[in-house]
Amino acid sequence: MIQTPYYLIDKARLLPNMEKIARLREQSGAKALLALKCFSTWPVFDFMRDYMDGTTSSSLYELRLGAEKFGGETHGYSVGWADHEIDDAVKYADKIIFNSLGQLDRFGAKTQGIATGLRLNPQFSTSGFDLADPARPFSRLGEWDMARLEMAQGRINGVMIHYNCENDDFDLFSAQLSRIETEFGAFLKTLDWVSLGGGIHFTGAGYPLDQLADRLKAFSDAMGVQVYLEPGEAAITRSTTLEVSVLDLIDNGKKIAIVDSSIEAHMLDLLIYRETAKLPQNGTHEYQIAGKTCLAGDIFGDAKFDKPLAIGDRISIDDAAGYTMVKKNWFNGVKMPGIAVRDLDGTVKLVRDFGYEDFAAALG
């Protein structure tokens, strides 16, 4: 039995997402790139690459990882490329996407011979969090002024427009895409490709995938461009659990189970966005599930079980793939979770473990 904590990636749960992506690609003509900022766990890339076209990145290291471990197309975007990075970035990328006209002016000559793009900010988004809203006031993410965009003509052949965040509303997506067509259509028609970014929750239950495919194809035909999507959460949603064990049980007026994990160290987005983990909710025995760090608010949330918990019991925390393994850290020196993969035949293999040497090496 694998020692907790560990992330368990289940290929049988990953497969339906991959099949929906493949179906959308076939019906719409759009290409799908895995967003490495959300999920970069490369031991399952050999499984995913049969259903996707490549990767999109937000840094030089992600770009290189996509090129070396995933293959296919590699899109390299960064909010700010550095002088010492750009030559390597061009070496690994099929497309380089600049965040600003200033970066294009500075490095555009370096990208001759590969596709070059610019981030377009439509000045609206579906984000419900100011922290993650690319259209927030004074946003530094992309260009929106038409005069500045036109200054890039002849030097770019595509744009990336990232404006969705956990958007499971097809009608809202379609309406906002119509707004992009109206406000930027003349400019987009001069390009070869348009990436609509990620944040479209099209692999969720009940999402009208056929309508999305038709809408993307209509946009592609009207603009005369190759459409790209950059699924992150949509690619890996519900595929992975964080497996933890109960270390202690406390009753201070509320029953609390302390586990061998931490939201700050292992599921950081729960803390950042003040969200609750997807915990078991079966039964009448209620417990608050809490992490083992010294942070007072290190709490996964409330759970229900069909029998009282005991020290040593294992708990599975669902939907633990996105923005977890890419953000895990060594806060309090708590052991990082291992990474395990359950194959389609049910076999579970530990593909990565972390120990004291990794902790020490990260700090000096």
Pairwise CA distance, residues 190 & 288, whole Å: 56
CA neighbor of 143 nearest in space, from 101, 115, 180, 174: 101
Q: How far apart are CA 269 and CA 266, in angstroms?
A: 9
Contacting residues for 49 by C-beta, under 8 A, at least 6 apart = 70, 71, 72
Q: Which amino acid is at 170?
A: F
- Binding-site positions: 233, 269
The DSSP line for 212-261 is HHHHHHHHHHHHT-EEEE--SHHHHTTSEEEEEEEEEEEESSSEEEEES-
Cβ neighbours of residue 289 under 8 Å, at least 6 residues apart? Answer: 256, 257, 259, 277, 279, 299, 300, 301, 302, 303, 315, 317
What whole-number distance in Å separates Cα of residue 207 and Cα of residue 209? 6
In the three-class reduction of DSSP (H, G, I as helix; E, B as strand; rest coil), residue 119 is classed as strand
Residue 283 backbone zone (phi > 0: left; psi -120 to 50: alpha; other: beta): left
Q: How many residues does this entry show for the chain? A: 364
Annotated binding site for substrate: 233, 269
